Amino acid sequence: MKPPSGPEEAQRPASDICVFASSCTMHGLGHVFGPGGLTLRRGLWAAAVLLSLATFLYQVAERVCYYREFHHETALEERESYRLTFPAVTLCNINPLRRSRLTPNDLHWAGPVLLGLDPAEHAAYLRALGRPPAPPGFMPSPTFDLARLYARAGHALEDMLLDCRYRSWPCGPENFTTIFTRMGQCYTFNSGAEGTELLTTPKGGMGNGLEIMLDVQQDEYLPVWRDMGGAPVCSPQQYKDCASPVLDAMLRKDACTCPSPCASTRYAKELSMVRIPSRASARYLAQKHNRSEAYITENVLVLDIFFEALNYETVEQKKAYEVSALLGDIGGQMGLFIGASLLTILEILDFLCEVFRDRVLGYFWNRKRSQRHSSTNLASHHSLCCHQASLCLPPHLLPRHPALDWMSVSSGPHPNIQDVASLHASLLSSSQIKF
């Protein structure tokens, strides 16, 4: 802050608004709170300062609101890699439960929820499954575990997996992890569970990924119990393009609102299908797995999952308006409209501290000091009275100075001014009064 410009300002306290205005670096305050009365010039300066301050506050509020909208910029970049981590591949059978493993107790507990069955339909449904009906006097179990139902009645990977290879290396059910999804019991390859190292591939194309042969076990599929009202049956391509994203969106909507992850990896899928190309291959597989050619044609599925190429695209979202840009805009608006800076804010805070010390704390200090003086005067008067009372002498027996006797009231003439002066000198020359 600037030093006081005159002796009058130097005598004023630091909490005086005129002293602060004359030394503050904020433009315009010295013209508003300067010495003198209210003039047209001072009123115009006050209006200009208030208008500039209001404009500055409006701009700051607008910049803060813009920052809180969290605008972002998207950068798309294509990169090449010499080795990519192979994705986790999850296999699910579209049929959640095997018909040969369902029991009357399962229908009692899970029939209304999983299959949409009424209790009166259980017997007919069991006959459609080729299962015996519930015995007379059947009593359901007191408790039921849905996870155990899927583990017992779901499609087991050991029964479905006919062959498995990863980059021409053999693999088996031990390389899969069991999980539960909306489709029931599923199995994930390369899940990285329990600290297992993730598999990578250095090449793209067929033969450099996961090759598996599955038996979908259509003879274990549950029957369609009710008429679906002419609803179309989706092909695998239609399910991938339409049904699966819609179901995933419904699950995300029903689930709790979780924040978006900071980083995620997505794989673009391209699906191509072909039936087993020749009868010779079907005959070979039928002999190998002790099945008929018709069964092989209807149930055997070969999956070849691989990277088409080892290039990938990165989509990165960055903040379009950083904190540094917000502070820069606020500083620019502050300098443009009110000619202030960060140090000006410190000056205002220092002035407020001075006002608090002089006006608020000073009030309590002065009040306490006056109370202390009052108590001191009362104590002095009380001690003087006590000292006079301790002499225990009447007033006419107290010792008196001879000059005081001369000034006593008598019928004689009063002393003139010179006599009073000499009397005063006589009193001053007396060193003490003896009793």
If one compares 211 and 394, the residue with the highest pLDDT of the two is: 211
Residue 429 has pLDDT above 90, yes or no: no
Q: Domains (ranges, CATH) in the chain?
A: 7-69+323-364 (1.10.287.770), 81-94+155-224+233-250+266-319 (2.60.470.10), 97-135+142-153 (no CATH)
Q: What's the gap between Cα 385 and its chain centre?
A: 75
Element containing residue 336 per DSSP (H, E): helix 323-337
Residue 85 has pLDDT above 80, yes or no: yes
Residue 169 has pLDDT above 90, yes or no: yes
What's the chain's average pLDDT? 79
Residue 3 has pLDDT above 90, yes or no: no
Residue 416 has pLDDT above 50, yes or no: no
Contact indicator for 1, 24 with CB cutoff of 8 Å: yes
Q: Which amino acid is at 49?
A: V
Tens of pLDDT, residues 137-153: 888 899 888 888 998 99
Percent of the chain past pLDDT 70, that is, above it, reads 75
Rounded to 5°, angle at Cα 108 from 102 and 112: 95
Q: What is the pLDDT of residue 239?
A: 61
Q: What is the pLDDT of residue 411?
A: 42
Rounded-to-10 torsion of CA 107, 110, 112, 117: -30
Residue 311 has pLDDT above 70, yes or no: yes
223: left (phi over 0), alpha (psi -120 to 50) or beta: beta
pTM of this prediction?
0.56
φ, ψ for residue 393, nearest 5 deg:
-120, 140
Q: What is the pLDDT of residue 391?
A: 46
Query: What's the mean pLDDT in 321-339?
Result: 90
φ, ψ for residue 107, nearest 5 deg:
-65, -35
Query: What's the mean pLDDT in 291-314?
Result: 89
Rounded to 5°, angle at Cα 126 from 294 and 134: 145
Residue 330 has pLDDT above 60, yes or no: yes
Residue 324: closest CA among 316, 332, 313: 332
Element containing residue 166 per DSSP (H, E): strand 161-166
CB atoms within 10 A of CB 182: 11
Q: Look up residue 347 and give its two tokens.
A: 């000056």
Sign for the CA dihedral angle at 92, 93, 96, 97 comes to negative
Tens of pLDDT, residues 152-162: 999 999 999 99
- Contacts of residue 35, defined as CB under 8 A and 6 or more positions apart, other chains included, come to 8, 18
CB atoms within 10 A of CB 125: 21
Q: What is the pLDDT of residue 306?
A: 92
Least confident segment among 48-62, 118-132, 235-249, 421-435? 421-435
If one compares 223 and 40, the residue with the highest pLDDT of the two is: 40
- Side-chain half-sphere exposure of 86, counting CA atoms within 13 A: 24
Tens of pLDDT, residues 384-395: 454 444 444 455
Least confident segment among 166-175, 304-313, 353-362? 353-362
Q: Which amino acid is at 290?
A: N
Which of 66-75, 122-131, 363-372 has the highest mean predicted lDDT (pLDDT)? 66-75
* Coil, strand or helix at 37: coil
Grade residue 347 by pLDDT with cuts at 50, 70 and 90: confident
CB atoms within 10 A of CB 435: 8
Contact indicator for 309, 79 with CB cutoff of 8 Å: no
Q: What is the pLDDT of residue 424?
A: 42
Grade residue 366 by pLDDT with cuts at 50, 70 and 90: confident
Residue 273: closest CA among 240, 303, 293: 303
